[in-house]
Amino acid sequence: MTWARLPGPVPADHAWVDCTQWRALAVRWHAEGGQLVALWGSDERPAGRGFVVHAVVIAAGTWRWMSLAAGGDDPHFPALSDLFRAAARQERALFDLLGISCAGRDTRPWLRHGAWGPADFPLRRDFAGAPPGTGSAHPYPFVPVRGSGVHEIAVGPIHAGTIEPGHFRFSVVGDEILRLEERLGYTHKGVAKRLEGMPLAEGGRLVGRVCADSTAAYAGAYAMAVEAVSACVVPPRALWLRALLWERERIANHLGDLGALCQDGGLAFGHTQFGLLKERWLQTHGRLFGHRYLMDVIVPGGVACDLDPTAIALLDGECATLLQTTRRLQHIIDDHAGLQERFLGAGRLDEAQARAMGAVGLAARASGIASDLRVFSPSPPYDTLKTRISMRPGGDVAARVAVRFDEIYESLRLIHTILALLPHGPVCVPCDHPQGGRGLGAVEGWRGVILVAVTCTSSPESHHVHIHDPSWQNWPLLERAVLGELVPDFPLINKSFNLAYSGHDL
């Protein structure tokens, strides 16, 4: 086993391992308090490796990417879910998409809803689409809760609103939640399959549309991975503009969530005011960057547009205004007895629970876990900006609200610094000649770490892109956080996490 440092801004080491090494490394990293970032598979039969299973772990401050050849006829690998709980659903997805199995996994389908036949695996190279009628949907075996007075409430997958589908099965006594079990995977769009046939330089347009509330983070992580396998050196001004876009995207989503949390807590005034702030923020995106949700702005090689002095002054002034307005609104929310009664103690997830379940991003920080790539694995320009991490120990809705406010203020500070220190020079260079190898891109999105892994060799058919959303880690946290809570409090607790459906199913 030989570790090789990968090119690019993510300081990751890669190694090919066998089954014994795979398991031994996982045990060691778990003992060191390591965190599983992503687990996925690829069909590398054209390159002679058969099916391959990959895992990226951050352990002792070091990024490790290990790859295991799982075989070609009956691909399998040693499970990781007994060590890293976040691996459980990813192991199920590995079988659903590629037919790669592991002993002891939950054999219930996770991403299969009757669209494919039992012998169809959509991420295999020879999968050309399942003929109509080959798939069959079967009742999903939710785990039942037995006992006097226990009944089930089924919510979704179709909801009363313009949101994506997801099923929530509650086991309750009266209004008290005894168990929640989620079923997701209804939004499979074939993104990973489509990326196999797209030139790497063009794939960013698709990746940026995976999850519209995280366009800049997704596109940025993809661009970083492509640049790594292309030996592309991004101009400094482009790197700083990317950070500006990531922080603006973070603020936009926090504003929207704060408004929604006010609405679920019964404060219509807060919903209206935060909605207005977010709308004005997005209108500025449209005027200066060409798209309200920043689509097609971050591209491999840099960014697609620049800022002139007038635009910089406008952005700086907008930040100053937002800071004052948001502080006034926070005072109103903090002093609103009815709202605080709903927030305090609701959906509590303490640090030990969050750490054991592999929590990431905002949800982890609101449970007292120091987790932020901008602080602990900073790529330029965050290595210069010195981000201040926002953490709260409560682990409840109130803590997740407080972290959102803290992060708005910190992002405004970062934006002011970026605008003041923005380097001169070009904003984009050509990046369309992949040289082969593997590359990682990782961005601390507003939900947590968004990771993109690219495998590219001289053979076009071995090209593979994996996209990982932090909601894979955090959806199980919601199931734990609602235990013992009342059913009417579920929308509030759910919104305090606000996890992605779309980013979970590609």
How confident is the model over 360-373, as pLDDT tens digits? 999 999 999 999 99
CA torsion, ordered 171, 175, 178, 179, to nearest 10 deg = 50
Amino acid at 467: I
Q: What is the pLDDT of residues 439-457, one digit of tens each?
A: 999 999 999 999 999 998 6
Judge if pTM exceeds 0.85.
Answer: yes
**Does the pLDDT value for residue 460 go beyond 70?**
no
**DSSP one-letter code for 424:** P
Helix (H/G/I), strand (E/B), else coil: 299 = strand
**Does the pLDDT value for residue 116 go beyond 90?**
no
Cα 278 to Cα 230: distance, rounded to the nearest angstrom: 37
Smallest CA-to-CA distance from 238 within 375, 387, 416, 430 is with 430
Q: How many CB atoms lie within 10 A of CB 313?
A: 12
Mean pLDDT of the chain: 93
- Residue 196: what pLDDT? 87
**Does the pLDDT value for residue 462 go beyond 70?**
no
Q: What are 442's strand-pairing partners?
A: 451
Q: Which of the four pLDDT bands, split at 50, 70 and 90, describes residue 72?
A: confident
Q: Quickly list H helices, 366-470.
A: 373-376, 382-385, 397-421
* Contact predicate 385/15, CB 8 Å: no
Strands 35-44 and 50-59: antiparallel
* Contact predicate 333/262, CB 8 Å: yes
Q: What is the pLDDT of residues 170-217, one digit of tens each?
A: 999 999 999 999 999 988 888 999 998 888 888 999 999 999 999 999
- Residue 115: what pLDDT? 81
Q: Which residues belong to CATH 3.30.460.80 in the chain?
A: 1-111
Supply 384's token pair.
């210069």
**Does the pLDDT value for residue 403 go beyond 80?**
yes
Angle between helices 236-265 and 268-289 (to 10 degrees): 160
Cα 224 to Cα 440: distance, rounded to the nearest angstrom: 7
- Residue 113: what pLDDT? 86
- 1-111 has CATH 3.30.460.80 classification: yes
Q: Which residues belong to CATH 1.10.645.10 in the chain?
A: 191-495
Helix (H/G/I), strand (E/B), else coil: 495 = helix
Query: Distance between alpha carbon 59 and the CA centroid of its chain, in Å?
Result: 19
Q: Which CATH architecture has domain 191-495?
A: Orthogonal Bundle (1.10)
- Residue 323: what pLDDT? 98
Q: Of residues 328 and 136, which shows the higher confidence score?
A: 328
- Residue 378: what pLDDT? 95
Cα 52 to Cα 345: distance, rounded to the nearest angstrom: 44
Q: What is the pLDDT of residues 127-136, one digit of tens each?
A: 887 776 666 7
Q: What is the rounded average pLDDT of the residues 78-93?
A: 96
Q: What is the pLDDT of residues 414-428, one digit of tens each?
A: 999 999 999 999 999
Strands 62-71 and 12-17: parallel
Q: Of residues 42 and 131, which shows the higher confidence score?
A: 42
Which residues, including other chains, have CB under 8 Å from residue 440's CB and lie 6 or more apart?
A: 6, 8, 10, 12, 56, 63, 65, 224, 225, 228, 451, 452, 453, 454
* Contact predicate 44/123, CB 8 Å: no
